[in-house]
Amino acid sequence: MNDEGPAGRALPSAGRLLDDDAVELRLPATTHQIPLVRVLAQAVAARADYGLDAIADAKMAVDEACAQVVGSASPEAAMTCRFTVSPAGIRFSVETVTGNPRPPSERSFGWHVLTTLAANAEVRCVPDPGGGYLLTLGIDLRREARG
Amino acid sequence: MNRPSPVRHRDEYPHTVPLFEELDGLPEDDPRRTALRARLVTEFLPVAEHIAARFTGRGEPREDLVQVARIGLINAIDRFAPSRGSDFLSFAVPTIMGELRRHFRDTGWSVRVPRRLKELHLALSRGSGELAQSLGRAPTPTELAEHLGLDLADVHEGLLAGHAYRPLSVDKPVHDEAEPLVLADTLGEEDPEIGHIEDHEALRPLLRALPPRERAIVVMRFFGGLTQTQIADRVGISQMHVSRLLANTLEQLREQLAGEP
């Protein structure tokens, strides 16, 4: 598998079960695909019984996170989106391969939007053994909407 | 004007004619304009409500339609020029209907959704408004299911159906640039502290170019520290409507900042 992360966070092979509380979606890293991730975000947040504000914020945050990652992704790269549900809330991460060693700026309007809508936003970019860099962006989708 | 206005005698609001003439004669910065405008808006509110009522039953909450119709009314009042010789109603009715049609085009169901789901979505929208009133925050799906006597699974399905409301970005309509920047005044727009954002110089003109309601909603959410439910309460539309406007506007801003058309 060439889509294994260097930090040992390997993508599961088809035969292996995910954790009970994790949902993953792997799709082309293009703008066109982002609405699919948004639909999944809506469903996951609703199932976790988030308030309607928080569901809407989660959708927009996931939208923004994916847009940031897609903006840097190498042509024809895939992105892997993962929702991990715990009693504390939902952690969302999106990962792709990029030729750019620098992660997206944390001073852009998009980043401001992201940190208004979600907590603990983290982005990192590390060399990928398969060539290029592995870009990962993670956010906590808040259970309670906050202004 | 030397041409008489033959339709004026059919005007059901003859007492407003001098008000329009007075408004038209005042300079742009005259403080009396605000009061006159507010008076005219109040006088014609029943017209806006009447037209909004004709658009109900199409899957949009009534409160949102009334709000949209009022925006159309305010636009009509601001754009009306009595010196052109037509009466206000024959100008206002198409303006208000245009605003409502634009609303349906902007937020209408973009794919065919079964009637049952539309009705479900409408019930959820109504229910969430009622619960937000009593809870002081947005309800959860569980609370909605209890409140409306619905299965939780149906609530989930109905909320997902709300997605069909979002038009795809490719067919997103261009906003009417002629829309006057009047609503921002009534919405209490906070001064955006966007100086720390590196692309703020690109962002500011884009924000300014937004229709006033969209701009106010973006500013309140991202620079004013308000939740969607709080914004909905201030603007007088449903949280779901705020959510759609926000998501659409963000997408638009993102494309514009990225330099796309």
Statement: residue B39 has pLDDT above 70: yes
Statement: residue B46 has pLDDT above 50: yes
For B128, the closest chain A residue by CA position comes to: A52
pLDDT value of position B244: 87
Confidence of residue B202 (pLDDT cuts 50, 70, 90): confident
User: Across the 147 residues of chain A, what is the mean pLDDT of every consecutive 10-residue run?
Assistant: 46 60 95 92 94 94 96 94 94 96 91 94 94 95 81
CB contact under 8 A, A112 and B156: no
pLDDT value of position B101: 82
Sequence-distant (6+) residues with CB within 8 A of B56 are B62, B65
For B164, the closest chain A residue by CA position comes to: A39
pLDDT value of position B213: 84
ipTM of this predicted structure: 0.81
pLDDT value of position A140: 97
Interface test with A, best of B120, B125, B137, B171 (most A CBs within 10 A): B137
pLDDT value of position A8: 46
In angstroms and rounded to an integer, the radius of gyration of the C-alpha atoms of chain B is 20
Q: Are B52 and B68 in contact (CB under 8 A)?
A: yes
CA distance A39 to B111: 15
Interface test with A, best of B143, B163, B207 (most A CBs within 10 A): B163
The mean per-residue pLDDT over the stretch B29-43 comes to 89
Sequence-distant (6+) residues with CB within 8 A of B122 are B59, B60, B61
pLDDT value of position B29: 85
Chain B residues touching A42 at Cβ < 8 A: 159-160, 163
For B254, the closest chain A residue by CA position comes to: A110
Q: Measured between alpha carbons, how far is residue B46 from residues B30, B73, B79, B107 in Å?
A: 27, 10, 19, 24
Torsion sign (Cα): A134, A137, A138, A143: negative
CA distance B105 to B165: 10
Chain A nearest-CA distance from B94, in A, is 34
A27-55: string of b/e by CB count within 10 Å (b at 16+)?
eebebebbbebbebbbbbbbbbbbbbbbb
CA distance B168 to B247: 11
Q: Are A67 and A29 in contact (CB under 8 A)?
A: no
Interface test with B, best of A40, A49, A109 (most B CBs within 10 A): A109
pLDDT digits (tens, 9 = 90+) for B82-128: 887 778 888 898 889 888 888 877 666 555 566 777 788 888 888 99
**Least confident residue range of B21-35, B63-77, B192-206:** B192-206
Q: Is A59 on the interface with B (CB under 8 A)?
A: yes
pLDDT value of position A141: 96
pLDDT digits (tens, 9 = 90+) for B140-153: 999 999 999 999 99
pLDDT value of position A7: 47
The mean per-residue pLDDT over the stretch B29-53 comes to 89
Q: Is A102 on the interface with B (CB under 8 A)?
A: no
Torsion sign (Cα): B4, B7, B13, B19: negative
Statement: residue B137 has pLDDT above 50: yes
pLDDT value of position B14: 80
pLDDT value of position A2: 46
The whole-chain average pLDDT of chain B stands at 78
pLDDT value of position B163: 55
pLDDT value of position B54: 83
Q: Is B31 on the interface with A (CB under 8 A)?
A: no
pLDDT digits (tens, 9 = 90+) for B151-193: 999 899 888 876 555 433 222 333 333 333 333 433 333 444 5
Q: Is A120 on the interface with B (CB under 8 A)?
A: no
Residue type, A116: T
Question: Rounded to two decimals, what is the model's pTM?
Answer: 0.66
Indicate the residue of B160, B196, B224 with minimum beta-carbon distance to A43.
B160
